Amino acid sequence: MSSRPRIDPVVWQPPTPSLRAKRRASDPPMPRPAFLPVDGVGPEDVVVHPDGHLYTGLADGRVLRLALAGGPPQVVGETGGRPLGVEVDADGDLVICDAHRGLLRMSVSSGTTTVLADGFRLCDNAAIACDGTIYFSDSSQRYGLEHWRADIMEHTGTGRLLRRSPTGEIDVLLDGLQFANGVALAADESFVAVAETGAYRISRVQLTGPEAGRRDILVDNLPGFPDNLSTGADGRIWIALATPRNALLDRLHARPPVLRRAVWALPQAFQPAPARTTWVMAVDASGSVVADLQTADGGYHMVTGVREHAGHLYLGSLTEPTVAVVPLPH
């Protein structure tokens, strides 16, 4: 890993945590997951393909095909970087946000990779509209994936939500985002939502109607750090919550920046760190919570991706060696 960069923090007063942020399990708790081994580390995001398989990318750059019923993973190809968000386009190809290489397209039959857009510091997650428009996030214009903690600690808000047209033009829909992360479209494509991990919220941009182009907040003051998003049944938007709110980090944000610089200079073991939990939530198009599943005893940690399919949730993680499979309670 490269040497730790300097940070230039700004003062921010985080919203007061809700009572939900203090609990470590939902009621009822998340069912205990089953696991699909990936023969590697870090299946950060997951997607279910029309061919009936699950696809994911690993820390070593490999993109894998997994049978939903289990079995040895198959290597589809390699990005040459670090694949994060994974989507399927209308042709059945994978659209991959690679943290180092940008927005990519990969054939699931040959593994051939094409660069769709590059020049980003941390290309993270995407959603694809019916007309082929790709909405995707660039988490930070200051720090790469190796130093994602620096962006959270600094809180200068340089993340962006971008749009790639079907003909290849790129424009910026939102900037000034606090570590732009997961991206999801409303079921009717009336808005696009983007997770701001560093601000505990989901922002959105209206895409249709008289308010097209307007930005607002879909969900505010989340009880944890939101990561990838996906659109599930009945139009609900699933949110992977990587870890609960951290009281020490919240206190540091509201105090003089010199304190965060001092903490950043300490060994990582003495810095605010993610707590172990397995946690996802879902909201409807108005931002109301319609599902909340969490356990501290699920044997899984740092949930960064979530995908609903056929009565189950498939969970990805930045750090685990498996994909978790959770049955959805009725």
Whole-number pLDDT of residue 136? 99
**pLDDT higher than 90, residue 3:** no
Q: What range does the domain containing 244 cover?
A: 32-327
What is the model's pLDDT at position 1? 44
Spell out the residues 6+ positions from residue 268 whose beta carbon is closer than 8 angstroms to its own: 149
198, part of any domain: yes
Residue 70 lies in a domain: yes
Q: Tell me, yes or no, whether 47 lies in a domain.
A: yes
Bridge partners, 319 (sequence order): none
Tokens of 174: 């939102």
Work out the average pLDDT over 137-160: 97
**Is there a domain that residue 87 lies in?**
yes
In a domain, 10, yes or no: no
> Per-residue pLDDT tens for 51-62?
999 999 999 999
CATH code (residue 160): 2.120.10.30
Residues 6 or more apart in contact with residue 267 via CB below 8 angstroms: none
Predicted confidence (pLDDT) per residue in 253-274, tens digit: 999 999 999 999 999 999 999 9
Give the tens place of pLDDT for each residue, 199-241. 999 999 999 999 999 999 999 999 999 999 999 999 999 999 9
The whole-angstrom separation of Cα 280 and Cα 291 is 8
Q: Is residue 26 part of a domain?
A: no
- The total of structural domains in the chain comes to 1
Tens of pLDDT, residues 238-253: 999 999 999 999 999 9
Each residue's pLDDT tens digit, 281-310: 999 999 999 999 999 988 999 999 999 999
Question: Is residue 193 a part of any domain in this protein?
Answer: yes
| Contact assessment for residue 171 and residue 163, using Cβ atoms and an 8 Å cutoff | yes
Rounded CA gap, 41 and 320, in Å?
Answer: 6
Average model confidence (pLDDT) for the chain?
Answer: 97
Model confidence at 164, in pLDDT bands (50, 70, 90)?
very high
For range 127-145, the mean pLDDT: 98
pLDDT digit string, tens, across residues 69-112: 999 999 999 999 999 999 999 999 999 999 999 999 999 999 99
Residue 6: inside a domain, yes or no? Answer: no
Peptide bond into 9 cis (omega under 30): no
CA distance 83 to 314: 17
Radius of gyration of the chain (CA): 18
The confidence score (pLDDT) of residue 2 equals 55
- Looking at residue 329, its pLDDT comes to 87
Strands lying side by side in the sheet with 74-78: 46-48, 53-57, 62-67, 74-78
Indicate the pLDDT class of residue 181, thresholds 50, 70 and 90.
very high
Q: What is the pLDDT of residue 298?
A: 83
